[in-house]
Structure 1
């Protein structure tokens, strides 16, 4: 099916751009270099379109120590300002208002305001950003209904009626209907149910309501991640994913534990969330081996499930890391860009 005229293309499957981080981790030049590499590759600029807004999906689930770095958010905001977006048209989205405050993205309750340095912050758990008509409906039954004999018949009927809503995970309306495109600023941490709480999880489970029900085991979690990622209205404007290796956690997740974090001076960008999660998986297992811990095994199933739906690749030999030279890519990006024919 041809791409709609108002949609930007995702980066190619399997291609991951990598920029080395300079001392101080300010991110400005690195972020712009990576975005410019994408623009050159697809021949289109990340400029305002018909809707005039861009979404930044951050991840604050693990707490302040493992949230999307605020300095990375600042750098992405500045890069989009250069490309024509005003700050009030750059929407920052995540699920939990509490975690957003803990991570410094929302101000404390003692202060007024609901933004981050001039950009609106939309906490999905406020309930204001879901549309009743747009949801992921999972057949996963509620835990109570798996235990026969606990309820009388009349109570069971009421429970079944209530469950018609409990089976629904509502989708974030701003990312579906308000933005020209959105970018996922993920983090990497291990998770008992997911194997990896990384790029795919940030874009899916931590982007919908009622997601905790999927974490009962790896099978339900993996299936939900892949199926939510494949919803056309959500995925069509999800064009890029960015991960900083300033800090990632290889064991004791999903919540932050400084003893098990590692750091590399690298920043990744890709249109392929599966490839990024596979690279994080390899790094986590390498650190587990070095520190005498068992590996994450088997490979998290959401990677192969999502790949079977055409969302990317998970085989290491199909992932191509391309280093981007920060010094040679200009800050100002022209509106019309030639296609980059050199990169496979």
Structure 2
């Protein structure tokens, strides 16, 4: 496939500019890569934050998107585990040709997984970033990784070490929160307590939450409920999938001394809550399997992903498909920015772009 061919892409022409449909080159694979014709790409909060706040992207024009599923179009010379026509899911990266708000992308084969028949492309696209944000923060053993270094469910003791220990997940109905619940279950935590809007309670319980507390309750009320649900056991693992100032304060406050707290945004815990000698470990995660420090845990994750999905051990997010292909993404990002999305993942189909 020649790089002179072009494809439709959703492009940010300049820092804090406006998204527009444009063209980018169709990539060719390196020896260890596959080129994927993208059937579905999912939207994430980082996408609107890059456009609104000018976060960390310095090279423009910029193609967005880091979540995708599609069909293998071309296989690198050293790749043996994929062939043209395979249905796959993968996480993209913040530069071309690895971005996913376009019709084709390239990805290393070792961080790509086949989609089993029981999962649709739209569902599969909801998985990569949300799941990586949980898995890299929990199970990465690289000394440079932002991780609490738990044994992974696929490692010895990883599914039994935490048996009978409570887990507390704030923002359980967010994409990351849903995967945090499921990984807590695979790691053997119990009870698994999540905060969410109560209309999402059946969904979260189907994923493995044992209790759901109304996120609209005052922090003190939530704090008062927790010992009743844990039987007085200390909470040594908290995952804050929202990580705003108020959720971080609650998360840190309920965490037992010596426990671990994972945040998806920078630490904004009030200094007065941090007591000398409490030994509470706070980790700000960076959920992408492309970075060198996350690559090994990413390879291990993608080696188990197809089986987990096939057996129902991991369930994708509920999805809403946006109209008009890539052209529907900016409006979807605007809805996310205005907190108009709950319990579902917005997905676009690049091949449907006019």
TM-score range, shorter chain: under 0.3
Q: Which has the higher helix share?
A: 1
Q: Could you tell me the TM-score, scaled by structure 1's length?
A: 0.23
Normalising by structure 2, we get a TM-score of: 0.23
Does 1 or 2 have the higher relative contact order (CA < 8 Å, sep 6+)? 1
